[in-house]
Amino acid sequence: MSFKDAVVTISGLNGVQANELIYFEGGASGVALNLEYGIVKALVFGGANSVRTSETVKRSHVVMRVGVGANILGRIINPLGVAIDGLGDIEFESFNPIEKKAPGVITRKKINQPIETGLKIVDSLVPIGRGQRELILGDRKTGKTTIALDAIINQLASQAKFRDAVSCIYVAVGKRMSEIVRIARLLRQKGAMDYTAVVVARASDPASLQFIAPYSACTMAEYFTYKGDHSLIIYDDLSRHADAYRQISLLLRRPVGREAYPGDIFYLHSRLLERAVKLDFAYGGGSLTALPVVETVQGDVSAYIPTNVISITDGQIYLDLNRHQEGIRPAVDPGLSVSRVGSSAQSKLMKKLAGSLKLELAQFREVEQFSKFGSELDPTTRSLLLRGRLMVNLLKQGRNTPLPTYKQLAMFYISSSKFFKENVMAVEGIDVDAYFASLFCFFEIASLMVPTKVALEKQSNIERAELIDALLGTHLRIFLNVEQFQVNHAKSMTKKNELRLINSSLYGDTVDSGLKGSAPVSENIL
């Protein structure tokens, strides 16, 4: 046996099969990949010191397997199923192959149930259904991981529902350990770690572990799917997974193709993502939703790996660097983002409200480009631009703050109402986020938040629409009065701060003397 860069060449290992697990004399393990005449080339799951030359190798007579079971939830493990969080070993229910044939057409069912991410722009414009494969792509530091984590955090609401809870698997490929610790800490703080497992292949780990990480995690997620439950898996990210496979293929001396990737790079990801499924009720009715992440360079979506994964998945969420730098978060570009099957899982109300929203944003983007070339705009164009900017602000959302679906419905319905267009939009410089936050508090105080969905679904009722408009009018008057009070208070505090500065310059350390007692000199100056 000879060893070089995590690839070993073994002679005399007769009868071994492809992807078979093998064991080395020193205790390390590996998997057979290349079967050549008289020799076998295999990957070693360990560092340079894990095996020695001329070491004895034994067959296991089984393909590569990983432990599965409900006990992985709440744990941080490596692709071999070994816990690395210091909480002890994991007791698995069974061991399943990491490579598995994708479900056939007969076993599948049409996607008809949504998986809410809690992000307004995603759930309305780029909806995701259970069993769908939706790609998240964009440049570095544009919020790709944040969207994936928000989707996990938002599944907390589904945990109380029988047979509707979603178990989550987050796969980190090629990430630093400090970043993985930050992600695990965030999930624990949000209460999401109870139904989430984190599978880790660090940047310092061998390429062999980074290569098998997505397949091992997919097998773990399939355990819940084939029990009739629902699971969500995040592959973060497949660009680094492709790089690891390219490194392995070069070491195995396989023929190279475009950008030095091997010829089967497409099959590498297609056989993984095709395992996402919505099963028919005759086969349990479970689902496995996949959200792969791919990194682009300078927004080039036509690069090799991005185009491969785009052609495999059912749509993509594209994050634009320019929008991110402008402060629009999430930086989702509605023009380049699409969900091919997710709309069939949307509720009728959300589909109706989102339909008008898409049209308004498309018109706004077109008019905004032309408005840059001219200074004089007609009233209709100015109104359209104002409406578009309000919609863009409406879709903004802070990180790790998912919004329940019923609140999203209320926001979209109210923003499309006649009252909002004629009254709220007439208020110059209104803060949309503050307005809706105040409105939800007002509804909750008025005990109206629970039947909101029922009220919206019956919006054709004239009396109910008039009641909602009356409530919106009452709230707007309260909101504007409070806002005016805050403005006056801010002006008052500014004046007091100026007074402190003047007193400080006149009296030295006795800064507050003009506020607590008499300060004739400073008062005369003011």
373 three-class SS:
coil
Half-sphere exposure of 148 (CA within 13 A, CB side): 32
Question: What is the C-alpha radius of gyration for the chain, rounded to an integer number of angstroms?
Answer: 29
Q: Dump strand ranges (E) for 238-314.
A: 277-278, 287-295
* Residue 361 to residue 347: CA distance in whole angstroms: 21
The catalytic residue among 59, 254, 340, 365 is 340
Q: Which residues is 7 bridged to in the sheet?
A: 4, 43
Q: What angle do CA 131, 135, 136 make, to 5 degrees?
A: 130
* Residue 71 to residue 54: CA distance in whole angstroms: 39
The two tokens of residue 116 are 């809410």
* Residue 222 to residue 210: CA distance in whole angstroms: 20
The two tokens of residue 368 are 């905004």
The two tokens of residue 129 are 């259904």
Is 202 marked active-site?
A: no
The answer to whether the beta carbons of residues 315 and 249 sit under 8 Å apart is no
The two tokens of residue 234 are 């995040």
* Residue 473 to residue 447: CA distance in whole angstroms: 17
The two tokens of residue 7 are 């690839």
**Peptide bond preceding 237 in cis form (omega within 30 of 0):** yes
The answer to whether the beta carbons of residues 502 and 525 sit under 8 Å apart is yes
The two tokens of residue 1 are 């046996």
* Residue 272 to residue 215: CA distance in whole angstroms: 7
* Residue 100 to residue 131: CA distance in whole angstroms: 17
99 three-class SS:
coil
Distance set, CA 98 to CA 64, 68, 80, 102, 198 (Å): 6, 10, 10, 12, 16
Closest CA to 456 of 426, 416, 484: 416
- Residue 429 neighbours by CB distance under 10 Å: 5
* Residue 112 to residue 127: CA distance in whole angstroms: 11
* Residue 42 to residue 517: CA distance in whole angstroms: 84
The two tokens of residue 169 are 């698997």
The two tokens of residue 492 are 């008052």
Active site residues: 340
